[in-house]
């Protein structure tokens, strides 16, 4: 038995395009533009899973986990979590049918056919990403996160994994500030990590909540406002109808492509995306990816 599996995923799907879109927001190491290397915590073990696309019609992935037992329970879990990370079950066809007659989104969706949003392996990782990006530029947040991983992450086969809540909970505010976090953000992350360790917070339970419940749960956490909650929902939970409309980048690009070219207010951006329900978050993601990869002058 092998520690790799061929998995059929919902087509259309283009893993390389999805990885390039992700890299447009946070750089990936050279040579990894066509494969996903994902550090996974399976119980007490930290393993590396790798996915590469081996077919388009039908869409297939080869998922491997060298340290997993062939045919074992850990291999099965590695496959399931890798499929979740690449949004393997997401059916893009209803979204494409909805956008087909739109003067802007038809072009955007056509140029990005097969693009799916990639999800971090753990919701705690996504929470760290969201907090680091609060009220600063993506470039500055990437620097902070790189330092954060250098100081607190664990390397597995050349890829650095985020620390687990238990690993982070024992740190101090001063230690977290050394990676560039403000004291306030450091306290938010420590309180979250300790809440998870002590059983007061259960991020995994978000998967079983509807959008309203997930939003309320996340905004009840200290330091997690509406933007942070919705960002976690769309990127970490794969909620395709959620739009973090308070995001300046989203408001600017929705205004550029679906408005008069000027930055919209959050409410204006929500109204402009309303025709794409229940795919409003996915429509915003496609606009962001299109702008980053192709630019406003692309044919």
Q: Is the pLDDT of residue 29 over 90?
A: no
Residue 196 placed within a domain: yes
* Phi, psi dihedrals of residue 52, rounded to the nearest 5°: -140, 150
Say which CATH number the domain at 64 has: 3.30.310.20
Measured CA to CA in angstroms, residue 71 lies from 3, 9, 62, 77 at distances of 7, 20, 15, 11
* Predicted local distance difference test score (pLDDT) of residue 33: 65
Residue percentage of the chain with pLDDT more than 90:
90
188 close to 130: Cβ distance less than 8 angstroms:
no
pLDDT tens digits, one per residue of 187-216: 999 999 999 999 999 999 999 999 999 999
297 vs 36, more confident = 36
**Rounded mean pLDDT, 155-174:** 96
pLDDT band of 280, cuts 50, 70, 90: very high
227 close to 246: Cβ distance less than 8 angstroms:
yes
pTM of this prediction?
Answer: 0.94
Residue 106 placed within a domain: no
CA dihedral 27, 29, 34, 39 (to 10 degrees): -100
Residue 199 placed within a domain: yes
- Range of 50's domain? 4-89
Residue 203 placed within a domain: yes
Same domain, 156 and 231: yes
* Predicted local distance difference test score (pLDDT) of residue 71: 84
Q: How far apart are the first and last CA of the chain?
A: 48
- Burial of residue 66 (CB within 10 Å: 0-12, 13-18, 19+) is exposed
Residue 253 placed within a domain: no
**Rounded mean pLDDT, 45-72:** 94
Residue 178 placed within a domain: yes
* Predicted local distance difference test score (pLDDT) of residue 164: 97
Residue 255 placed within a domain: no
* Predicted local distance difference test score (pLDDT) of residue 1: 47
Say which CATH number the domain at 191 has: 1.10.340.30
What's the structural domain count of the chain?
Answer: 2
Same domain, 85 and 157: no
Mark which of 41, 70, 89 sits at the end of a domain.
89
Same domain, 58 and 140: no
Residue 282 placed within a domain: no
C-alpha to C-alpha distance for 182 and 132, rounded to whole angstroms: 9
* Predicted local distance difference test score (pLDDT) of residue 32: 61
Structural element, H or E, at residue 228: helix 226-231
Angle at 47 between CA 122 and CA 138, to 5 degrees: 40
**Rounded mean pLDDT, 43-54:** 94
pLDDT tens digits, one per residue of 102-125: 999 999 999 999 999 999 999 999
């Amino acid at each position: 038995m092998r520690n790799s599996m061929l998995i059929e995923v919902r087509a259309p799907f283009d893993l390389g395009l999805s990885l390039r879109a992700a890299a447009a927001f946070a750089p990936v190491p050279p040579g990894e533009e066509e494969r996903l290397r994902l550090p996974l915590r399976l119980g007490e073990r930290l393993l590396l899973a790798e996915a590469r696309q081996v077919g388009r019609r039908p869409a297939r992935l080869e998922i491997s986990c060298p340290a997993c037992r062939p045919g074992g329970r850990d291999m099965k879990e590695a496959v399931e979590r890798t499929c979740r990370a690449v949004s393997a079950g997401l059916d893009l066809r209803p979204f494409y049918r909805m956008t087909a007659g739109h003067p802007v989104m038809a072009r955007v969706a056509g140029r990005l056919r097969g693009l799916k949003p990639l999800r971090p392996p753990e919701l705690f990782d996504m929470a760290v990403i969201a907090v680091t990006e609060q009220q600063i530029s993506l470039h500055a947040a990437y620097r902070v996160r790189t330092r954060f991983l250098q100081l607190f992450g664990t390397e597995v086969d050349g890829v650095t994994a985020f620390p687990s809540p238990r690993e982070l909970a024992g740190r101090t505010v001063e230690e977290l500030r050394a990676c560039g976090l403000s004291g306030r953000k450091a306290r938010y992350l420590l309180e979250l990590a300790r809440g998870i360790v002590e059983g007061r917070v259960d991020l995994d339970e978000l998967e079983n909540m509807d959008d309203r419940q997930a939003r309320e749960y996340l905004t009840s956490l200290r330091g997690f406002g509406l933007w942070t909650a919705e960002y976690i929902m769309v990127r970490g939970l794969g909620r395709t109808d959620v739009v973090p409309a308070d995001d300046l980048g989203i408001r600017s690009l929705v205004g550029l492509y679906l408005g008069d070219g000027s930055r919209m207010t959050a409410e204006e951006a929500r109204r402009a995306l309303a025709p794409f329900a229940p795919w409003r978050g996915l429509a915003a993601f496609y606009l962001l990816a299109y702008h980053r990869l192709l630019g406003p002058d692309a044919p």
